[in-house]
Chain A
Amino acid sequence: MSDQKVHALLTDARMIIVCGPGGVGKTTSAAALGVLAAKTTEKRVLVLTVDPARRLATALGLTALGNTEVPVPLPNARGSLTMAMIDTKASWDDMIRRHAPDTNTRDKVLGNELYRTLTSRFVHSHDYVVTERLFDARESGNYDLVIVDTPPSRSALSVLDAPRRMEQFFSSRLLKLLTAPAQSRVLSMASRPFFIVADRILGARFLADIAEFFTLFRTMERPVVDRARRVGALLTNTETSYLVVSSAEPVAMLEADYLVRELRRRSHHLSAVLLNRLVPLHLAVGAAQRAERLAASTDPMLRVFADAERTMAAVAQHEAAQVDVVASWGADVLYSETRQGDITDTDALAQLGASISARPRTYGGVGTDKNGR
């Protein structure tokens, strides 16, 4: 019992990357879709999550145990559900272990004091790690559908750019500068301020340490770049779908608009936009009329209620306008209404998933505007 469009999305995709601004219920939506997919299709589903709310995580058996994949028991499921958290530190270490040309290099890199600071500054390692994990999940052959929850908004794009950035980094002037000894006569006067800035930004006093680290890092160039290319190709192929989640709030809408435009510009396959945390339609419709009736009452208590209905009418009208805006983005639109209470177990997630709908929302009669809504 799920919406047709949602079912089609879950059936057709091999990977769904869920992105969007923070604070709109993205992680919960990703988990809900995972539960729905496992229940209603025969797929083996993996949900990769970055930062689930503690109660949700506990309820699903996810603890802070690095990258462990946890099977989630679901009654009457046609498929299966596994969830995992993406642990940046553990994943980055795994990457170094995998690509280092020998154990000596590996140990030197992992043991380098500047290792973590430098990698996070220059290649946004936490973003790259997300791409590593989703690539591994796809390549493993263990899953038919991978749903990836990404960090909020601009970071989501940063995730998508990570492979290309990794590739560019290895051929960049920046890396050459960083691996040249500071005392070298080859350095022109023009480069010297760079080291002052680098020193200030990185907080690192020892340029020799930096040089050593990056010299080691360069030995991993070939396997890392090769893998980065394959990950990049995965992110843009047609079996990888993108779902942008937003709410109707102005802050979220701005970010979502930006994301949709950027995804299109980078030729990623935008499947749908999920508008979350909407007003229950049966309350939105008719609010203005109910307000008028209550306001006309002689009972002062009832006029107080009129204010509440007027506020609801205003909220609904704003929301109706945002629904129009989202429709103008040209993607399929899915809607989900606010839930009472927190989502803390798989039953609640299943209900949430089942309530996501592509049915168009008409707000008729909330107030007067040029569209007669």
Chain B
Amino acid sequence: MTGKGGVGKSAVAAALARVAADRGKRVLVCEMDDKGSLATYLGREQLGFEPVTVAQNLAAMAMNTEDSLREYIRLYLRVPIIGSLAPLARIFDFVANAAPAVKEILAIGKLCYEVRENNYDLVIADSEASGHFVAQVSAPDALAALVRIGIVADQTKWMSNLLHDHSVSSVLAVVTPEEMPVVETIELRERLAKATPVNFAGVVINRMPAVVGVAVSGASSAAATDASVSGASVSDETRAVVDWLTMRRTAAEGHARALADAFELGNVETLSEAPAKGGDASAGNRAPTAIVAHLVGEINRVLSEHA
């Protein structure tokens, strides 16, 4: 999963993981950049390289370079590690500047390993947008071109196969209906297509503002917010608030439409922004776990509408 910082990618990843686990899948959700957001959304202090069970059928972990390097060497190079990996890690960083794939293979290699070992039915990688993501997901391909012989070359072959198999692996992009995330996601998809044949499954549009006004006993939403219907009881401020929110919703719809058009999709599903319940829009409704609970509801709604 990829997405610009701030679009709610980790929250959506956590929600998807919960929905899948609730439906009986053995799920591993992994944070690729170790920033700690995924842990927060899963209601944990932190996550480590070793997967921990956070709920029935749901395990979670976070990547870090030294641990994944250690694991990579143990699994694939079969060299026992004694002492600090720091010197090797430094050489790694140096080489990685010229060939980023070399470093990314560690993270992607661990995930491919988990998929191959069939310890889970679904592995969700909570990654990030930008060139970093493209490098991660195309790492086995880039590395295969770089190193033509030896153990590493053999490894990358099966990883590439796994990633390129559309029935096994997919990329999902999370966006909010705003200009920059939409523009960047369109560009990302183009760059991805040039770098690797990995399947781009689609986009999740998060934090869609709700439609202003609700259909009330058959009346259209326009009528429901038409001040003339309610007469003088509605203040000027309230009318202005409705106008402002309508403008915000319309702008969001425009961005969602631009994305749908760029990807040649007809209708796009959106996940609504967490509503303000009651008169108090305080922290309670915006707590990370509350946000995930809301998103779980939204995802289940979308799935049931397509059932």
Contact = CB atoms under 8 A, between A and B. Distances in A.
B225 A305 contact: yes
Interface string A76-112: 0000000000000000000000000000000000000
Contacts of B180: 21-23, 152, 251-252
B237 A368 contact: no
Given A304-B216, A308-B212, A367 B279 contact: yes
Given A23-B178, A308-B225, A310-B279, A290 B238 contact: yes
Interface stretch (B17-25, B226-234, B295-303): B226-234
Contacts of B145: 196, 200
Interface in B3-61: 4-8
Given A301-B230, A311-B275, A249 B281 contact: no
13 contacts: A21-B180, A23-B179, A23-B183, A193-B99, A196-B146, A253-B6, A292-B279, A297-B233, A304-B225, A307-B214, A311-B245, A311-B276, A313-B279
Given A194-B98, A251-B180, A305-B242, A310 B237 contact: no
- Which label, helix, strand, loop or mixed, suits the secondary structure of the A interface? helix
Interface residues of B, number: 50
Contacts, number: 134
A251 B279 contact: no
B286 to A, nearest CB: 8
A299 interface: yes
Given A194-B98, A305-B238, A338 B233 contact: no
Interface in B150-194: 176, 178-181, 183
Interface in B210-236: 210, 212-214, 216-217, 224-225, 229-230, 233-235
A309 B241 contact: yes
Contacts of A200: 142, 145-146
Interface in A189-208: 193-194, 196-197, 200
Given A200-B145, A308-B213, A308-B238, 19 more contacts: A22-B179, A22-B183, A23-B183, A152-B180, A193-B99, A196-B145, A253-B6, A280-B244, A282-B237, A283-B241, A288-B279, A304-B214, A304-B224, A305-B242, A308-B225, A310-B279, A313-B279, A313-B281, A338-B247
Interface of B: 4-8, 98-99, 142, 145-147, 176, 178-181, 183, 209-210, 212-214, 216-217, 224-225, 229-230, 233-235, 237-238, 240-242, 244-245, 247, 275-283, 285-286
Interface residues of A, number: 51
A277 to B, nearest CB: 10
A291 interface: yes
B178 A251 contact: yes
Contact of A255 (B5, B275, B276, B283): B5
B245 A312 contact: yes
Contacts of A301: 216, 224, 229-230
B6 A252 contact: yes
A299 B224 CA distance: 12
Contacts of A251: 4-7, 176, 178, 180-181
Contacts of A307: 213-214
A283 B183 contact: no
B250 to A, nearest CB: 12
Given A251-B6, A291-B279, A338 B229 contact: no
A368 B214 CA distance: 26
A307 B285 CA distance: 15
A22 B179 CA distance: 8
A78 B7 CA distance: 44
B230 A302 contact: yes
Interface centre among A194, A288, A309 (most CB of B within 10 A): A309
A197 B224 contact: no
Given A299-B230, A305-B230, A305-B238, A313 B212 contact: no
Interface string A306-323: 011111111001100000
A317 B282 contact: yes
A250 interface: yes
Contacts of B241: 283, 287, 290, 308-309, 312
A211 interface: no
Contacts of B142: 200
A280 B225 CA distance: 20
A249 B4 CA distance: 13
Contacts of A175: none
A302 B224 CA distance: 9
Contacts of A309: 238, 241
B225 A299 contact: no
A279 interface: yes
